[in-house]
Amino acid sequence: MSATPTITDQDVEQYTQLTQQVLQQARQAGASAAEVSVNFSSGLSSCVRMGAVDTVEFHREKGLGLTVYFDQQKGHASSSDTSAEALTQIVEAACDIAKATQGDPYTGLAEEALLAKPATELPLYYPWSLTAEQAIELAKQCESEALTHDQRIINSEGATLATGQHLQVCANSLGFVGHQRTSRHSLNCVLVAKDAQGMQRDYAYTTARDPQDLWSTNQVAMLAAQRTLDRLDARRLPTGRWPVILTPEIAAQLLHYFIRAISGGLLYRRASFLVDCLGKQIFPTHLTLTEDPWLDKGWGSAAFDDEGVKTTARTLVDAGVLQGYVLGSYSARRLGMQTTGNAGGIHNILIQPQPLTQAQLLDKMDTGLLVTETMGHGVNLVTGDFSQGAVGFWVEQGEIQFPVHEITIAGRLPDMLQNIVAISNDLDNRQMIRTGSMLIEQMTIAGQ
């Protein structure tokens, strides 16, 4: 089987012309303003389980979205069909919807002075010319290395190798035109281990924009195997209040809730526990958060947001004090502010760690819980209440004693953010929010 073809300059030109064609049709239909986005993606994934091929999938998808404005009336339509007839229908549908909606004084395109003109394409595209046979072989190799690591590993839920690429072309009636090509590659392995006390499951994964930055199959296999074995003979804990360390993956989830709480949609609806907190102390003074949209190979890197607004680096939290919100044009107008270039989401949140390894962070905690996984949806961003199922390890005198499962960790998000004691330097570069392990002074652990 042949490899997935790359996204060429000709593809960019073709979709750019398509956006201009749609904008012209919208103007001819009477729209006072319009913006259009074309997205194209393709990729390959191969999953093997217990040495046999489970699935091989190719995907190739295209979609076009059009938003039109008739002064303060807005309409939107989208389609995966970009034929001439379909484009006519999309424009008609968007215009009809706009004419039928009530006017909103806050709606409209982003201010022209804020647009990225000319728009820059960042180096985020590293295609991998990989055939299905090669993907299958790499997945098989990873799973085999994991299964033969220890006789207690008795089963596999599969190893999957995936490679994908994406092209987005955006344009609006104020003259903005921009495009961005991106790539994403990954390898993961999920295992099951068994001992006299029962079975446990865990996994490991690697992901990168550039295939050269992926971990080796052996690294993924060994980490998946060790993590799964480490969870054997897990116990429950008695209910109590203890210090808690969140591993980088879980710490990033906590910061994700913080980002959502300072995002425009929740703020103007006054549905966030951080309403009216700009300029206030949210974190301890040792913590600083920055946003870097131009980070090399970053998952959130972008020269412009979904509205075409130019992105800029900024300090989001300085010495614990909240310096800014996460806003697109609509929410910014509702709040009487200016967009922060975050229509569509954040752009790489970076936290400044302390000169501590995770082992040193365990020493600092002395006795408490190391959380490696959470589950459930017990987070209320209106009240700030937090409660999730968790697994991890019990720690005494800075040393891991035994694995823990079937517990719940709970607290209030304002207290959790304010009581971050330290952050170690084991930063996880696989995520848009890059943080190390995070020590929280105290949380409720509900167990036996």
Q: 307: how many CB neighbours lie within 10 A of its CB?
A: 25
Q: Report yes or no on 277 lying in a domain.
A: yes
Q: Report yes or no on 433 lying in a domain.
A: yes
Q: Report yes or no on 336 lying in a domain.
A: yes
Rounded to whole angstroms, the Cα distance separating 29 from 6 reads 36
Q: Which of 181, 214, 230 is the last residue of a domain?
A: 230
Q: Which of 196, 230, 264 is the last residue of a domain?
A: 230
Q: Is 360 helix (H, G, I), strand (E, B) or coil?
A: helix
DSSP per-residue codes, 30-47: T-SEEEEEEEEEEEEEEE
Give whole-number Cα distances, 35 to 20, 76, 170, in Å.
10, 10, 8
Is residue 265 within 8 Å of residue 82, measured between CB atoms?
no
345 in the Ramachandran plot: left (φ > 0), alpha (ψ -120 to 50) or beta?
A: left
Please give the single-letter amino acid code of residue 16: T
The pLDDT score that the predictor gives to residue 196 is: 87
The pLDDT score that the predictor gives to residue 1 is: 59
Q: Report yes or no on 1 lying in a domain.
A: no
The pLDDT score that the predictor gives to residue 447 is: 87
Element (H, E) at 441: strand 438-446
Domain membership of residue 43 as a residue range:
9-230
The pLDDT score that the predictor gives to residue 346 is: 96
Is the domain of 172 the same as that of 244? no
Domain holding 222: CATH number? 3.30.2290.10
Q: Is 268 helix (H, G, I), strand (E, B) or coil?
A: helix
Rounded to whole angstroms, the Cα distance separating 207 from 430 reads 6
Angle, nearest 10°, between helix axes 132-147 and 217-230? 40
The pLDDT score that the predictor gives to residue 2 is: 65
Is the domain of 138 the same as that of 286? no
Number of structural domains (the chain) is 2
Rounded to whole angstroms, the Cα distance separating 51 from 156 reads 9
Is the domain of 256 the same as that of 367? yes
Is the domain of 209 the same as that of 255? no
The strand pair at 198-208 and 433-434 is best described as unpaired
Is the domain of 173 the same as that of 276? no
Q: 228: how many CB neighbours lie within 10 A of its CB?
A: 28
The strand pair at 433-434 and 349-351 is best described as parallel
Is the domain of 162 the same as that of 311? no
The pLDDT score that the predictor gives to residue 420 is: 98
**Terminal alpha carbon distance of the chain:** 54
Please list the alpha-helical segments (H only) found in 46-147: 84-100, 132-147
The pLDDT score that the predictor gives to residue 18 is: 97
The pLDDT score that the predictor gives to residue 448 is: 78
Residues in CB range of 197: below 8 A, 6 or more apart? 232, 233, 234
Q: Which of 203, 230, 257 is the last residue of a domain?
A: 230
Is the domain of 209 the same as that of 238? no
Q: Which of 267, 237, 260, 196 is nearest to 406 (CA)?
A: 237
Rounded to whole angstroms, the Cα distance separating 66 from 99 reads 15
List per-residue pLDDT tens for the chain, 448 residues long.
567 789 999 999 999 999 999 999 999 999 999 999 999 999 999 999 999 999 999 999 999 999 999 999 999 999 999 999 999 999 999 999 999 999 999 999 999 999 999 999 999 999 999 999 999 999 999 999 999 999 999 999 999 999 999 999 999 999 999 999 999 999 999 999 999 889 999 999 999 999 999 999 999 999 999 999 999 999 999 999 999 999 999 999 999 999 999 999 999 999 999 999 999 999 999 999 999 999 999 999 999 999 999 999 999 999 999 999 999 999 999 999 999 999 999 999 999 899 999 999 999 999 999 999 999 889 999 999 999 999 999 999 999 999 999 999 999 999 999 999 999 999 999 999 999 999 999 999 998 7
Residue keyed to tokens 């808690």: 244
The pLDDT score that the predictor gives to residue 125 is: 98
Structural Rg of the chain based on CA atoms: 24
Residue keyed to tokens 């239909």: 29
Residue 321, strand partner residues:
281, 318
The pLDDT score that the predictor gives to residue 207 is: 98
Q: What is the 3-state secondary structure (H, E, C) of 223-252?
A: HHHHHHHHCCCCECCCCEEEEEEECHHHHH
Q: 281: how many CB neighbours lie within 10 A of its CB?
A: 14
Retrieve residue 65's tokens: 């979205």
Residue keyed to tokens 């971990």: 215
Is the domain of 312 the same as that of 172? no
Retrieve residue 396's tokens: 């005494």
The pLDDT score that the predictor gives to residue 441 is: 96
Q: Report yes or no on 4 lying in a domain.
A: no
Q: Report yes or no on 40 lying in a domain.
A: yes
Q: Report yes or no on 321 lying in a domain.
A: yes
Is residue 147 within 8 Å of residue 153, measured between CB atoms?
yes
The pLDDT score that the predictor gives to residue 54 is: 95
Is residue 389 within 8 Å of residue 265, measured between CB atoms?
no
Is the domain of 238 the same as that of 216? no
Give whole-number Cα distances, 221 to 27, 205, 246, 248, in Å.
56, 9, 23, 20
Residues in CB range of 137: below 8 A, 6 or more apart? none
Is the domain of 225 the same as that of 238? no
Is residue 197 within 8 Å of residue 233, measured between CB atoms?
yes
Is the domain of 250 the same as that of 222? no
Q: Report yes or no on 3 lying in a domain.
A: no
Q: Which of 49, 308, 298 is nearest to 168 (CA)?
A: 308
Is the domain of 226 the same as that of 241? no
